[in-house]
């Protein structure tokens, strides 16, 4: 296992993928009871801290366009939540280097908030355990607790009741992430679920078991962003792809490969044939 800490002043916000996501029922409060398998990959946004009076955030990088660095940004909200829990005034100049697509189903904003909790926990010398940070993360979003841990987790409830899992034979497999350049709002995708419980997600993690699992949000995402179906079709035709699925509420999709050279070859192929898509070859990773 590796650490998401890049240096004492910088933290990686690893992208998450949902290897499977089963919806069991719609709750009266508008949320859904889900079962999901979280995994994380070796790429993500980066968050840096510089000592300064007061709290501020700046954003740069290839995916920074249009992002608001104000108080409604999840990084800033995470900082205020942590400071409130610690009964202190927040401080520090934060800079977010954004490389992950926005509203794309790979937890970019949630991962950024989680990275802020971990980084400020260290820089403010709180030294709280990850479980306490994850509890704070529940106020910021259903995926934030899993992103705080950034390790394979089986999630139930809203996805925030977590049990660590061993990915077994799929651990560290090469993975290709592809987003068609379309932001997909989570709420409408969940609202598009047909309400049919098609069964639980098995806790056994093998390629065969994952192959028979599903992402119940896929049809709703395709209805909103039909390009998602194009991505899935392209991925399914790639040599060496052993599992193809959409992550989260989309529109990012992924393919697992047996060998790294297959994933790299697929990245070159899709980057050339679909230059408008965001394409990234990486690997499943376990952080600690």
Pairing type for strands 92-97 and 55-60 reads: parallel
Mean pLDDT on 81-93: 98
Q: Quickly state the pLDDT bin for 2 (edges 50, 70, 90).
A: low
Concerning whether 45 is annotated as a catalytic residue, the answer is no
Query: Residue 221 and residue 204: Cα distance in Å, rounded?
Result: 27
Domain 5-164: give its CATH architecture. Answer: 2-Layer Sandwich (3.30)
Query: Residue 222 and residue 246: Cα distance in Å, rounded?
Result: 10
pLDDT on residue 1: 58
Residues of the chain with CATH 3.30.70.890: 173-282
Mean pLDDT on 58-69: 96
The single residue of 45, 98, 112, 143 carrying the catalytic annotation is: 143
Query: Residue 255 and residue 238: Cα distance in Å, rounded?
Result: 9
Inter-residue contact 3 to 150 (CB < 8 Å): no
Residue 5 predicted with pLDDT over 90:
no
Residues of the chain with CATH 3.30.230.10: 5-164
Q: Quickly state the pLDDT bin for 160 (edges 50, 70, 90).
A: very high
Residue 162, Cα to own-chain centre: how many angstroms?
Answer: 15
Mean pLDDT on 21-41: 94
Mean pLDDT on 50-57: 97
For the stretch 221-236, what's the b/e string if a residue is b when 16 or more beta carbons lie within 10 angstroms of its beta carbon? bbebbebbbbbbebbe
Mean pLDDT on 261-270: 98
pLDDT on residue 41: 97
Residue 74 predicted with pLDDT over 70:
yes
**Backbone φ/ψ region at 272: left (φ over 0), alpha (ψ -120 to 50), beta:** alpha
Query: Residue 259 and residue 49: Cα distance in Å, rounded?
Result: 36
Inter-residue contact 246 to 221 (CB < 8 Å): yes
Residue 4 predicted with pLDDT over 90:
no
pLDDT on residue 288: 64
Given 3.30.450.20, 3.40.50.150, 3.30.70.890, 1.10.1740.10, which CATH number is that of 173-282? Answer: 3.30.70.890
The single residue of 16, 45, 160, 216 carrying the catalytic annotation is: 16
Q: What is the DSSP letter of 170?
A: G
Tell me whether residue 61 is exposed, middle or buried, using C-beta atoms within 10 angstroms of its C-beta: 0 to 12, 13 to 18, 19 or more.
Answer: middle
pTM, two decimal places: 0.96
Q: Is the bond preceding residue 251 a cis peptide, omega within 30 degrees?
A: yes
Concerning whether 16 is annotated as a catalytic residue, the answer is yes
pLDDT on residue 221: 97
pLDDT on residue 239: 96
């Amino acid at each position: 296992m590796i650490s998401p800490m890049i240096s004492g002043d910088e933290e990686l916000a690893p992208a998450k993928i949902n290897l499977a996501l089963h919806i069991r029922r719609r709750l009266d409060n508008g949320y859904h009871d889900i079962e999901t398998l979280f995994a994380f990959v070796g790429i993500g946004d980066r968050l840096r801290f510089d000592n300064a009076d007061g709290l501020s955030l700046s954003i740069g990088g290839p995916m920074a366009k249009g992002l608001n660095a104000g108080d409604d940004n999840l990084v800033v909200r995470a900082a205020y939540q942590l400071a409130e829990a610690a009964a202190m005034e927040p401080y520090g100049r934060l800079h977010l280097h954004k490389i992950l697509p926005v509203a794309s189903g790979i937890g970019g904003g949630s991962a950024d908030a989680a990275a802020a909790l971990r980084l400020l926990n260290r820089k403010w010398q709180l030294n709280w355990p990850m479980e306490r940070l994850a509890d704070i993360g529940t106020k910021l979003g259903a995926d934030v607790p899993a992103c705080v841990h950034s390790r394979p987790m089986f999630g139930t409830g809203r996805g925030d009741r977590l049990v660590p899992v061993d990915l077994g034979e799929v651990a560290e497999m090469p993975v290709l992430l592809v987003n068609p350049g379309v932001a997909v709002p989570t709420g409408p995708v969940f609202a598009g679920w047909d309400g049919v419980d098609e069964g639980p997600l098995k806790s056994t993690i093998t390629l065969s078991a994952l192959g028979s699992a599903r992402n119940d949000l896929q049809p709703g995402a395709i209805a909103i962003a039909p390009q998602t179906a194009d991505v899935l079709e392209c991925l399914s035709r790639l040599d060496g792809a052993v599992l193809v699925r959409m992550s989260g509420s989309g529109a990012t999709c992924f393919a697992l490969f047996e060998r790294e050279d297959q994933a790299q070859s697929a990245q070159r192929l899709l980057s050339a044939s679909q230059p408008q898509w965001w394409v990234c070859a990486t690997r499943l990773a376990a952080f600690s």
